[in-house]
């Protein structure tokens, strides 16, 4: 059996698990760097995925606890799409991906890990980012730790956004 060592992940493994809705609780904690919140708008925010499919995997969610897309207010929808556009620019500048997957999983059957709070996934993709590891070893290799990715993306957001 082959082993892959990732000692920087131990802090994540030991991290206290959050009960309830992370999209409600994490922004309320006001510890953005610790909770990987990259950007706060008026209606919605951007947070990194703690279980990334690829480096730079982020999510955009409204602050308001809403399960169904059609129940979002017009202002929430508009800001969510503005934040998607912002993050596409940020990710292109910071990570130079070849493409993106952008999507909303509505319902468990559609892949929603958190069903009761709508959120949009933005996943950077590179040619060759799918390889033998997930198929043969049931292992996904993420080449950068979350904290380093956070700092890189946060720096790029600060270059683009003028408040």
By annotation, the residues acting in catalysis are: 119
In the block, which residue shows the tokens 């998607």? 84
The half-sphere exposure of 147 on its side-chain side, counting CA atoms within 13 A, is 6
β strands within the chain, DSSP E: 37-40, 44-48, 58-62, 99-103, 120-125
Q: How many residues does the chain have?
A: 163
Q: What is the strand order of the sheet 37-40 is part of?
A: 37-40, 44-48, 58-62, 120-125, 99-103
Query: Between the CA of residue 72 and those of 116, 118, 130, what are the distances in Å?
Result: 13, 9, 34
């Amino acid at each position: 059996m082959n082993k892959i060592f990732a000692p920087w992940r131990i802090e994540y493994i030991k991290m206290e698990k959050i009960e309830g809705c992370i999209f409600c609780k994490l922004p309320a904690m006001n510890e953005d760097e610790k909770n990987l919140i990259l950007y706060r708008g008026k209606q919605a925010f951007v947070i990194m995925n703690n279980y990334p499919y690829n480096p730079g995997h982020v999510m955009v969610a409204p602050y308001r606890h809403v399960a169904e897309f059609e129940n979002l207010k017009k202002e929430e929808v508009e800001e969510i799409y503005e934040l998607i556009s912002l993050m596409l620019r940020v990710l292109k500048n910071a990570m130079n991906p070849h493409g993106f997957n952008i999507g909303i999983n509505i319902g468990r059957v559609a892949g929603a890990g958190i069903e009761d709070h709508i959120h949009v996934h933005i996943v950077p993709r590179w040619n060759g980012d799918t390889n033998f590891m997930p198929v043969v070893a049931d292992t996904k290799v993420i080449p950068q730790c979350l904290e380093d990715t956070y700092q890189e993306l946060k720096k790029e957001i600060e270059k683009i956004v003028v408040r």
